[in-house]
Every structure is written in C-alpha cells, then in structure tokens.
Amino acid sequence: MSTTITVIGGTGYVGGHVVAEAASRGHAVTVVSRRAPAEPVAGVAYVQGAGDDAAVVAAAIADADAVVAALSPRGDMAGRLVEVYRGIADAATAAGKRLIVVGGFNGLRESEGGPRFAESIPADWPYRAEALEAVDVLDWLQSAAPAGLDWTFVSPAAVFGAYAPGERTGVYRVGGEVSIGGHESTLSGADLGVAIVDAVERGEHRGGAHVGVVN
C-alpha cells in the first residue's frame, strides 16, 4: 500500500537516503529543500524552499501520511535549529501528521539513567556545536513539544555519515535511549533509510519515542 511521505531536507545525506528508499518501495515522496538535487530521484516531487518557510512547509505536508525532517545546523541554520523545528512541529501538529526527526548519536546515553554522550564531547571537536544543537532539539521535543504531536527522534550510530557511507544490507537494530555499541557502533546511510521507511510503514516508535539505530 502506497504511503505519502514528505522529507524536509531531502537532498542532504540523511534525507537523500530516506527519499531513495521510500521511492524504491513505490511510495509518493515530496522533498522540501533549498537547492535542487544534482541527481533527482525518478517519481519524486521536489519543492524548492526552506524548512523555516511556514507556507512552504504547510503546503508540502498537507497530503502526507508522515513527515521526515533531517536538517543540519549549518550556514544560516546554525543556532536556529530548535526554532526551525518548532515551526515544523507546529505545522505537523496543526495538520495531524506524524513527525520523524533525525538527529545525532550524541543524544543517546551510555547506560540507563546515565549521562548522554553529548556531555563528554571534547571541547575542541570541530562538530561539537552541531552535535549539541541536535541534542537541544531532542530536549525541546521531550520537554515542550506541542500537545498532540506524534513525534519520533532518531539517533544514528556513532560512526555514521558521508565519510563512512557503508552499503545497504537491509539489516539494522533499534534501541532506546541507551546506545547499542557506544562509540564503536556503525550504520550505513542506506540502512538508516530502510529503518525510517520501515517505521513509517509499520507505524513503529510513535508517540514521543527516542530511538537509536545501528547495524
């Protein structure tokens, strides 16, 4: 059965894998992104616009069964990620849409009730600010998400990104707030796409869930 999925940030590394996987399964996919993709996926509708453009977002999610948002706090998004996601969450709530936010590994915990990995990020790590901003989004969802918002926050493995793309295996594991494998955990971009589309199709991890995904 075909599902309609809107991916905000669908031309980036994460979003691109979600789009490719969803389209390969025959789902109707709409992408919202600032730039047109270098290699458009056949059958996908591309809408040029920013995640902080309320009118663009509202129109793009109007007919969606689920909304996936994968934004990075870079460029003029730096320091504004919570604000932008707040707008997307408000739109999803008003339209009654499920929202899946893809964040980062550092929102996970080392052990049950233990500290998040974000608390031990070295001060000189070049991506520290980005990682902490993604955790701020998770904090906001857990403490102040709009009433009635059906949200999921997905944290990929520690070793994840364009620098370590891996291959599509179709095999992955899903955990809760405690990381599976810690800093040694890995996940391919394609398998994150598989996991997210599976969650949409199966209606899994709904109602304010924070999950980790690893190979």
pLDDT value for 103: 98
Residues 6+ apart with CB under 8 A from 160: 105, 186, 187, 189, 192
What are the structure tokens assigned to 211, written together?
Answer: 């999950």
- CATH code (residue 77): 3.40.50.720
Check: pTM over 0.95? Answer yes or no.
Answer: yes
Rounded distance between C-alpha atoms, residue 167 and residue 46, angstroms = 25
d(C-alpha 46, C-alpha 61), whole Å: 13
Please write the tens of the pLDDT for every residue from 19-67.
Answer: 999 999 999 999 999 999 989 999 999 999 999 999 999 999 999 999 9
> 96: how many CB neighbours lie within 10 A of its CB?
10
Cβ contact 106:113 at 8 Å: no
Q: What is the pLDDT along the chain (215 residues), one digit of tens a residue?
A: 689 999 999 999 999 999 999 999 999 999 999 999 989 999 999 999 999 999 999 999 999 999 999 999 999 899 999 999 999 999 999 999 999 999 999 999 999 999 999 999 999 999 999 999 999 999 999 999 999 999 999 999 999 999 999 999 999 999 999 999 999 999 999 999 999 999 999 999 999 999 999 99
pLDDT of residue 2: 80
Number of domains in the chain: 1
CB-based contacts of 103: which residues, under 8 Å, 6+ apart? 134, 135, 137, 138, 153, 154, 155
Which residue range(s) make up the domain with 148?
4-214
**Rounded (10°) angle between helices 189-202 and 13-24:** 50
Angstrom distance (rounded) from CA 180 to CA 187: 11
